[in-house]
Chains A and B, each alone.
Chain A
Amino acid sequence: MQDELDREQNQLFRVLQIILNDYRLYLLLLPIVIWYGLWFYKPLAGLLIAFKNFQPNLGALGSDFVGFANFETLINGAFAPQFWRAFRNTFVISLYGFIFGFPIPIILALFFSEIVNNFLRNVSQTLSYLPHFLSEVTITGLVLTMLRNSETSTGILSSLLINIGLIEETTKVVQNADYFRPMFIITGIWKEAGYSSIVFFAAIMAISPVLYEAIKVDGGNKLQEIRYVTFPGMAPTLIIMIVLRIGRMLSVGFERVILLYNANTYETADTLATFVLRIGLEGGNPAVGAAAGMFDSIIGFGLVVGANFISRQISDTSLW
């Protein structure tokens, strides 16, 4: 017994000695440890309030423990209709974003790689990346103003949609739940497609030209070239990007949602993150909000781990 204690003390002593002898290295590590401790790991303890009847004046520790009551109000209690709507919307928006948004950067990259004139290619690539660097407030400000449709003025996009007959003259796209998802997804494509194409473009550029020459000698046409050389060549990148995408399934551009949605479009626009914001922070139910947020985080984490597991099974690519 005493022996064991001594040994442990010795070990601790040795560790301390290593650290002291090399204190500069550990001083360099210190800022980041404190930072993540304060701003990431300490709030994890705050998840406790998801299991409490949280009263701000009593604090997270002083409030009464209520078990899974907050989760129950979400799953089949007072907040259930809104919660499940947010849950469904999150997946639907994410899925649409994947179906329409994912292939476009790949196609762009494919076509960028076909442009042999360097100047033209650089110009078009540079222009297509630009929206990525503008803020969500700027991007959504542009979209909302161009979609305006009031008695005194009709934004350019609304005019266009009226002229090609997609909407009625009186339709206010921004206020209409039917149009939220297309608006959201197209805005996202505009902002990110060009930038997302970089990673695929780099993958295509890394494919050895010898392979292209070989298939040409064998008499392959353009489509066969894409099918048998380009796609296999960029497969690892594709898999990583799909894995990342599945892992992020639940985090649909939260800032963009709050900047584009309004009370009239909650039906199709309210996502888990915006639900947490409105119920937990603005609606004065922090405990329910924390429970919903925890639900969100755990499923999100499960998705990342699951996607990574699958990717490791079907190929040798994995995130960690």
Chain B
Amino acid sequence: MQIGLSRSERAFKIFALTLVGGFSLLAFFPVVYAFSASISGKIAYETGQVLITPVDTTFEVYELIYLDKGLWISFINTLFYTVFGTAWSLFMTITGAYALGKRRLLFRRTFNFLVVFTMWFSAGMVPLFLNYTSLGVDNRWGIIVAFGVQAFNIILMRSFFEAIPHEIEEAARIDGANEFQMLLSIYMPMSKAAVATIALFYATSRWNGYFWARMLLQNSTELPLQVYMRILIENFRWMFDDMPPDLAYSPDSYIFAVLIVSIIPVLIVYPYISRHFAKGVNLGGVKE
């Protein structure tokens, strides 16, 4: 650091820190507030005493949530969708990226274009929906198989693979490695960071997936957490507006508590995510 910071420069830095710090605290505030509101008493919440910290702390809402079987079923469903869905997406992305990156692949440019094109055009919701239903995408495995491959991630992975020195590949080939061995024991170990980053992208989008799951899934025991939560929010609001129940906590607290349940897993993996994704986003800027 230089010693001679001018006065205007110091003022600018303090201004920047205040503004950015303010924004960041504001961005995080709703999560803190939701937690505090979820464990505050009914009267305290409804008279607006809860601002940041909880007032009249009661954990009764969480007892009720603990008994909500549907919520836990949907929670486990989401875990299932996230784990298997991410694995499926990664398999498609890695194999595809490997093949698309090979110069000797016939019609390589055409295939690459066909992948990139999917980022800029879409058949639209109605043909997609009709296609999903006609191919039987109305159950768990359908949701896993028919979704979650993103062209952007394939391109990202491909540019990573392409950056691996050619000499290494040649050495492995002389040692008799075939295509599968090459991918498994040379390419993948050498791009662990990229694979991890892309896995995180896929996992968050699986964890957060809502729309198509709601449109397609027929069996209520297969619903993911996001859909269950949304249906709860819709119905609970309606119940609440019509007949305010007499409880120790406000009905809003219940909604906040359910939202917190969906946020906690994200918070747990977040330190790990935040270390990785900044890298991944910057990779997006890598151009051929």
- The chain A residues found within 8 Å of chain B, CB to CB, are 15, 18-19, 22, 24-29, 31-33, 35-36, 38-47, 49, 60, 108, 110-112, 114-116, 120, 123-131, 133-138, 141-142, 144-146, 148, 150, 152-156, 159, 190, 193-195, 198-199, 202-203, 221-222, 237, 240, 247, 254-255, 258-259, 273, 276-277, 280-281, 286, 289-290, 292-294, 296-297, 300-301, 304-305, 320
Bound state CA distance, A112 and B16, in angstroms? 7
Q: Which of B26, B124, B131, B208 has the most CB of A within 10 A?
A: B124
Rounded to whole Å, the gap between the CB of B267 and the closest CB of chain A is 8
Residue A49 contacts which of B6, B127, B227, B240 (CB distance < 8 angstroms)?
Answer: B127
Contact between B27 and A137, CB atoms less than 8 A apart? no
Residue B270 contacts which of A25, A133, A137, A142 (CB distance < 8 angstroms)?
Answer: A133
Q: Does B219 sit at the interface, judged by CB under 8 A?
A: no
Rounded to whole Å, the gap between the CB of B282 and the closest CB of chain A is 5
Contact between B96 and A29, CB atoms less than 8 A apart? yes
Bound state CA distance, A22 and B211, in angstroms? 41
Contact between B131 and A46, CB atoms less than 8 A apart? yes
Q: A135-B207, A141-B259 are in contact. Are A120 and B95 (CB under 8 A)?
A: no
Q: Which residues of B from 51 to 98 have beta carbons under 8 Å from A?
A: 51, 91-92, 95-96, 98
Residues of chain B contacted by A28 (CB below 8 angstroms): 95-96, 98-99, 179-180, 183
Q: Does B274 sit at the interface, judged by CB under 8 A?
A: yes
Residues of chain B contacted by A126 (CB below 8 angstroms): 270, 274
Contact between B274 and A199, CB atoms less than 8 A apart? no
Residues of chain B contacted by A26 (CB below 8 angstroms): 99
Residues of chain B contacted by A134 (CB below 8 angstroms): 208, 262-263, 266
Q: A36-B115, A156-B48 are in contact. Are A114 and B149 (CB under 8 A)?
A: no
Q: Does B170 sit at the interface, judged by CB under 8 A?
A: no
Contact between B130 and A136, CB atoms less than 8 A apart? no
Contact between B17 and A49, CB atoms less than 8 A apart? no
Rounded to whole Å, the gap between the CB of A37 and the closest CB of chain B is 9
Task: Name the prevailing secondary structure of the B interface residues.
Answer: helix
Contact between A138 and B263, CB atoms less than 8 A apart? yes
Bound state CA distance, A195 and B201, in angstroms? 13
Bound state CA distance, A149 and B102, in angstroms? 59
Rounded to whole Å, the gap between the CB of B115 and the closest CB of chain A is 7
Contact between B266 and A133, CB atoms less than 8 A apart? yes
Rounded to whole Å, the gap between the CB of B214 and the closest CB of chain A is 10
Bound state CA distance, A42 and B100, in angstroms? 21
Q: Does B3 sit at the interface, judged by CB under 8 A?
A: no
| 25 A-B contacts (beta carbon < 8 Å) | A24-B180, A25-B105, A31-B96, A35-B92, A44-B127, A111-B16, A112-B20, A114-B16, A115-B13, A115-B17, A123-B24, A127-B28, A128-B20, A131-B27, A131-B30, A135-B262, A137-B208, A137-B229, A138-B226, A145-B233, A153-B251, A156-B37, A203-B285, A259-B210, A290-B124
Apart from A15-B106, A133-B204, A133-B273: 6 A-B pairs, beta carbons within 8 A:
A28-B180, A29-B96, A141-B258, A144-B233, A146-B33, A258-B211
Q: A46-B127, A297-B122 are in contact. Are A127 and B25 (CB under 8 A)?
A: yes
Residues of chain A contacted by B207 (CB below 8 angstroms): 135
Q: Per-residue CB proximity of B112-145 to A under 8 Å, as 1/0? A: 0011101011111111111100010000000000
Q: Per-residue CB proximity of B201-226 to A under 8 Å, as 1/0? A: 00010011111000100000000001
Task: Name the prevailing secondary structure of the A interface residues.
Answer: helix
Q: A133-B266, A138-B259, A153-B252 are in contact. Are A120 and B17 (CB under 8 A)?
A: yes
Residues of chain B contacted by A199 (CB below 8 angstroms): 281-282, 284-285
Contact between A44 and B180, CB atoms less than 8 A apart? no
Rounded to whole Å, the gap between the CB of A84 and the closest CB of chain B is 18
Bound state CA distance, A193 and B237, in angstroms? 29
Residues of chain B contacted by A38 (CB below 8 angstroms): 131, 135, 146
Contact between B285 and A29, CB atoms less than 8 A apart? no
Q: A28-B99, A111-B19, A199-B281 are in contact. Are A43 and B127 (CB under 8 A)?
A: yes
Residue B114 contacts which of A36, A39, A152 (CB distance < 8 angstroms)?
Answer: A36
Rounded to whole Å, the gap between the CB of A170 and the closest CB of chain B is 14
Bound state CA distance, A59 and B181, in angstroms? 45
Contact between B126 and A32, CB atoms less than 8 A apart? no
Residue B123 contacts which of A46, A115, A240 (CB distance < 8 angstroms)?
Answer: A46
Bound state CA distance, A39 and B150, in angstroms? 12
Contact between B124 and A136, CB atoms less than 8 A apart? no
Q: A26-B99, A35-B92 are in contact. Are A152 and B244 (CB under 8 A)?
A: yes
Bound state CA distance, A247 and B119, in angstroms? 11
Residues of chain A contacted by B118 (CB below 8 angstroms): 36, 40
Rounded to whole Å, the gap between the CB of A295 and the closest CB of chain B is 9
Q: Per-residue CB proximity of B255-285 to A under 8 Å, as 1/0? A: 1101100110010001001100110011011
Rounded to whole Å, the gap between the CB of A280 and the closest CB of chain B is 4
Residue B230 contacts which of A36, A137, A254, A300 (CB distance < 8 angstroms)?
Answer: A137
Contact between B241 and A116, CB atoms less than 8 A apart? no
